[in-house]
Amino acid sequence: MTFIKKPIFRHPSLPTNAIGLTYRDYEGVVSTLCAGCGHDSITASIIDACFELSLPAHKIAKLSGIGCSSKTPNYFLNNAHGFNSVHGRMPSVATGANLANRDLTYIGVSGDGDTASIGLGQYCHAIRRQLNLTYIVENNGTYGLTKGQFSATNDKNSKNKRGMDNPFGSIDLAVIAIELGAGFVARSFSGDKEQLVPLIKAALEYDGFALIDVISPCVTFNNHGYSTKSYDYIREHRSVFGDLDFVPEEETINTSYAEGETISLKLHNGREINFKKLGDDHDPTNQHKVINTLRENRAEGKVTTGLLYIDPNKSDLHQTLKTSNTPLNALPMDDLCPGNDFIDNINNLFR
Amino acid sequence: MSNNISYNELVIKFANVNGSGSASANTFCAKSLYRMGIPISAKNIFPSNIQGLPTWYEITVSESERLARKENIDIMVAMNAQTYASDLNEVISGGTFIYDNSIRRSFDRDDINIIGIPIAKLCAEEYSDSRQRQLFKNIVYLGSLSLLIGIDIDVIEKLLADQFKTKQNLLDANINALNIGRKYVMENIDYPLNKQVRKCNKNSNKIMLNGNEAAALGALYGGATVASWYPITPSTSLVEAFEKHANKLRKTEDGHLNAAIIQAEDELSAIGMAIGANWNGSRAFTATSGPGISLMSEFLGLAYFAEIPLVLFDIQRGGPSTGMPTRTQQSDILSCAYASHGDTKHMILLPADPNECFEFGYKSFDYAELFQTPIMVLSDLDIGMNDWVVDEFSWDPEYKHNRGKLVSADDIENLKSFARYRDVDGDGIPYRTIPATHPEYGSYFTRGTSHTDTGGYTESGVIHAEMLDRISKKFETSKEMLPQPIININSPKSKIGIINYGSTTVALNDAIAQLSSNGIGVNHLRIRSFPFAKSIKDFINDHDFIFILEQNRDAQMKKLLVSEENLDVSKLISVLNYDGMPLTANFIVDNITESLNNNKNIKAANSPPIKIV
């Protein structure tokens, strides 16, 4: 797609959210990804989620690594600072940024190559530390920018565009996240905005590491008949865990679900997540059961989507490190520098 | 042995087994001498090992302040039978060799004084616990030594009392062990030796500490709030010291910490975190050594090109590869100056001692924000891990931390426009915002891809080249703002200059004094930063021959000078040491003298010998 400038014109009757902003205020520059790319749908869902939550865009930092997916932070939230870092290293940059200012909302966008291959180490350690980050993997099972090599999330024996078999097993990022203690783990499909937007909203409001592994078909290299990450394949093989309804603090709980079918989870910060169970009796707070169900579904060739796992009581990195409540980047130099008053004491330590 | 006693000019060396507790006893000895007011320098020569390998500790005592390491040892305290043979050889004729004669040995030297003290036996008689028997051997030899060379016992006892402030039983036990050693000497040995120490008053404005602790305090004074690191010798103690002091100086009233210290999973992550924190407006640093620089190189290129401030302490050790992790070198000069792919270049500070580690420690954060680029502080194992006696720290109450062109919310409303990478002032340095500065203005996209002056993606070759040129301009601007070289024109008419940097300064000062007394006058320049200040090229141009002293094989600083300053190589003569040990003055004097004798041109330049005025 050619790169064009978006017109600044706004229709006067565009709906506004609670802080008086329109959907357009949450947009970025025009995407340069291929027409029909799943990633652009995810971008739209991120914009929807931020708009609906009435988040001030400038208090969000959006970070990414390298790859098609990692280009997308440029396509949403123009008023937020963005950081397209190096391949597979977004988690460390996000960790540093988060340490500097605990008050912002952090969105990390990565791909399956960026996370499951070159960045697997940083991914795991960011989870271990309970970094307060919404980590969205735009998972298309292929290396797009280098033209169609298999990625580590591609299923064994699935084929590439040229009909070659993938000889190696795949890495399930959601299972790894649950195993390593992530507090919020979800999987979705770029083509299902109704499921994805509430998941992103809930993840953004979750204080801790929140993974959303979004299957996002690559229309150019991995949307053919032999792919297990194509639009058709995912639509046919989805197993949905349940409907999610995210309730921001100031709203009343949506009670459209019948009693007994809905699990209501209260987060640290007062926000509430309603999870509507489906027939499979999924309990998103039971780590062991979740992992078992994911494995069983997978063995049957099903891709499980929805809120897979949540622990509402995790401590995030700042709580663990006991960093000051004031963001570190807001502390004045005069407070940080011990100054002349302490220089004698310090010298005396070394006499 | 009491004839011709000399005072305060001697070298003591302890030969021990690592992991046996000798390090604290040896440090007590050095610190006692420091507290007696005597100039000393101490070098810990230790293995990359936890327990069982040979380790040495050298103390050069010199009231005349000739503090370089020396080849010949006056008093060897030989507590490791594995190394007796080589330790014996190092003792100067007329010197003393002290060993534990619990097992008697004969030594094949009749030109030195050999003293046997049955230390293991004495400890076995005194202590029943095997751990105590081992540990107190060290204090026993310290006690013996104190009587043999005249270390003031009150000073040692006061030092132990300070050390074991809250542990009276430990203090009593240590003093008891000291007295065991002293009593044995008193009753059995002809003392004092002919090399003695005595109080003088040269340390009243001095402190004794290592460069890593000094750099950590510098970082605290510089307002650093985030330290992300991965353990690697010899940089580890820097971040550990930062954490220790932050826990005292940065605790909030409610028990929180105005700092975040995080041990990363590797060096890539460590530098990534520091970059992320700096990008978001905290002053953040990482510390590493050579192998870490290799791993951090990709990120260094990002910080260079995306213009993110960063402070990196590189405590150099012996390379290449894993090399000699516990030995000192200056061999990361080129890999730091040009770290990362593409056209990259980095600003480097070169402290020569712990005092400068403190000074550069806080100033580096100003430079990083002023120039919006990584600042690498290149210390080394010798500076970082050895205890040095240096001028005490001072702090100018008027000092204001300089955050460079960091734009606040108010400022940005007054700006007509904001373009993150635009050279508004003509110095190559653009204006910078951090996330959440303002709801409407100042946001931009940071990227490692080529970008326009507003941060947009570009594949325009013209814009790319302009961006690289503008970044070069920052480096031009920095040349006269970074720490300037120290120049000593000892001998205004001399055509011979010596250039050095970092930890070799102590040895070089001794060497220059020796050369001077040999009738060879040389001028001296110490490089303290890169890109090079203009005065460096002037100094080189003002001399016909320039010796460049370095601790690496490949003459890295010379190469950097030649390529950056377009110099005539023929007048540059390298003096190189790369055995991993701190230099001796003789090494420098011998090398320079040999060059002078072998090179007709230099001989002519130095004929007749130029006397120092």
Q: Residues of B numbered 59-118 whose beta carbons fall under 8 angstroms of chain A's beta carbons: which are they?
A: none
Residue from B583, B523, B518 nearest B551 by CA = B583
Question: Which residue of B217, B257, B282, B393 is the best one to mutate when testing the A interface, meaning the one whose CB has the most A CBs within 10 A?
Answer: B282
Between A and B, how many residue pairs show a Cβ–Cβ distance under 8 A?
224
Domain contains A159: yes
CB contacts, 8 Å: A20 with chain B: none
For residues B528-535, give the mean pLDDT.
98
Write the single-letter amino acid at B207: I
For residues B226-254, give the mean pLDDT.
97
The pLDDT assigned to B221 comes to 98
Is the pLDDT at B401 greater than 90? The verdict is yes
Is the pLDDT at A251 greater than 60? The verdict is no
The pLDDT assigned to A283 comes to 83
The pLDDT assigned to B113 comes to 97
| pLDDT tens figures, A16-53 | 999 999 999 999 999 999 999 999 999 999 999 999 99
The pLDDT assigned to A197 comes to 94
Domain contains A126: yes
For residues B463-467, give the mean pLDDT.
98
Question: Look-up: residue for tokens 């010379």?
Answer: B558
| pLDDT tens figures, A86-99 | 999 999 999 999 99
- What total number of domains does chain A contain? 1
Q: Nearest CA of chain A to the CA of B319: how many Å?
A: 27
Return the bridge partners of A252, or none. Answer: none
| pLDDT tens figures, B537-592 | 999 999 999 999 999 999 999 999 999 999 989 999 999 999 999 999 999 999 99
Domain contains A56: yes
CA dist., res. B40 & res. A261, Å (int): 78
Question: Are A101 and B223 within 8 A, CB to CB?
Answer: no
Domain contains A218: yes
- Give the range of the structural domain holding residue A46, as residue numbers without chain letter: 23-322
Looking up residue A266, the CATH number of its domain turns out to be: 3.40.50.970
| pLDDT tens figures, B70-99 | 999 999 999 999 999 999 999 999 999 999
- Give yes or no for a contact between A32 and A71, defined as CB atoms under 8 angstroms apart: yes
Question: Look-up: residue for tokens 């499951």?
Answer: A116
Strand order in the sheet with A238-240: A238-240, A303-310, A184-189, A209-215, A133-139, A105-111, A60-64, A81-84, B445-447
Question: Are B260 and A95 within 8 A, CB to CB?
Answer: no
Question: Are A329 and B393 within 8 A, CB to CB?
Answer: no
Tell me B5's DSSP state: -
- The verdict on A100 touching B (C-beta cutoff 8 Å) is yes
CB contacts, 8 Å: A81 with chain B: 433-436, 443-446
Residue from B282, B290, B237 nearest B259 by CA = B282
Is the pLDDT at A3 greater than 50? The verdict is no
Domain contains A177: yes
Domain contains A83: yes
Fold matches, B209-391 and B486-605: yes
B170: how many CB neighbours lie within 10 A of its CB?
12
CA torsion, points B25, B31, B37, B38, in degrees to nearest 10? 70
Say if residue B439 is preceded by a cis peptide, omega within 30 of 0. Answer: no
The pLDDT assigned to A302 comes to 86
CA dist., res. B388 & res. B208, Å (int): 5
The pLDDT assigned to A11 comes to 76
For residues B184-190, give the mean pLDDT.
97
For residues A214-226, give the mean pLDDT.
91
When CB atoms are compared, the residue of A85, A92, A321 closest to B264 is A92
CA dist., res. B398 & res. B383, Å (int): 29
Domain contains A350: no
| CATH classification (class only), B486-605 | alpha beta
The pLDDT assigned to B602 comes to 63
Write the single-letter amino acid at A280: D
Q: Residues of A numbered 37-56 whose beta carbons fall under 8 angstroms of chain B's beta carbons: which are they?
A: 56
- Residue B217 Ramachandran class (φ > 0 left, ψ -120 to 50 alpha, else beta): alpha
- Residue B65 Ramachandran class (φ > 0 left, ψ -120 to 50 alpha, else beta): left
Topology given in CATH for the domain delimited by B6-196? Pyruvate-ferredoxin Oxidoreductase; domain 3 (3.40.920)
Write down the CATH number for the domain with range B209-391: 3.40.50.970
CA dist., res. A40 & res. A37, Å (int): 6
| pLDDT tens figures, B8-60 | 999 999 999 999 999 999 999 999 999 999 999 999 999 999 999 999 999 99
Residue from B305, B343, B280, B250 nearest A92 by CA = B280
Task: Identify the burial level of B251 via C-beta atoms within 10 angstroms of its C-beta, where 0-12 means exposed, 13-18 middle and 19 or more buried.
Answer: middle
- The verdict on B410 touching A (C-beta cutoff 8 Å) is no
CA dist., res. B393 & res. B356, Å (int): 9
- Burial track B457-481 (b if 16+ CB lie within 10 A, e otherwise): bbeeeebeeebeebbeebbebbbee
For residues B95-114, give the mean pLDDT.
96
CA dist., res. A317 & res. B562, Å (int): 48
| pLDDT tens figures, B335-394 | 999 999 999 999 999 999 999 999 999 999 999 999 999 999 999 999 999 999 999 999
Domain coordinates of chain B in residue numbers?
Answer: 6-196, 209-391, 405-483, 486-605
The pLDDT assigned to A239 comes to 84
Report how far Cα B508 is from the mean position of its chain's Cα atoms. 15
Select the more confidently predicted residue: A167 or A274.
A167
CB contacts, 8 Å: A351 with chain B: 35, 207-208
The pLDDT assigned to A329 comes to 98
- Burial track B95-124 (b if 16+ CB lie within 10 A, e otherwise): bbbbbbeeeeeebeeeebbbbbbbbbebbe
For residues B530-535, give the mean pLDDT.
98
Is the pLDDT at B438 greater than 50? The verdict is yes
The per-residue DSSP string of B124-159 comes to HHH--SHHHHHHHHHHHHHHHHHHHHT--HHHHHHH
Question: Which residue of B159, B280, B308, B447 is the best one to mutate when testing the A interface, meaning the one whose CB has the most A CBs within 10 A?
Answer: B280
Length of chain A: 351
- Give yes or no for a contact between B365 and B392, defined as CB atoms under 8 angstroms apart: no
pLDDT grade, residue A258 (50/70/90)?
very low
Return the bridge partners of A262, or none. Answer: A276
- Give yes or no for a contact between B124 and B103, defined as CB atoms under 8 angstroms apart: no
The pLDDT assigned to A257 comes to 36
Question: Look-up: residue for tokens 């001989």?
Answer: B603
pLDDT grade, residue B606 (50/70/90)?
low
CA-based angle B90:B28:B328, to the nearest 5?
55
Domain contains A330: no
The pLDDT assigned to A253 comes to 33
- The verdict on A174 touching B (C-beta cutoff 8 Å) is no
Between A6-20, A22-36, A101-115, A268-282, the lowest mean confidence (pLDDT) is in A268-282
- The verdict on B404 touching A (C-beta cutoff 8 Å) is no
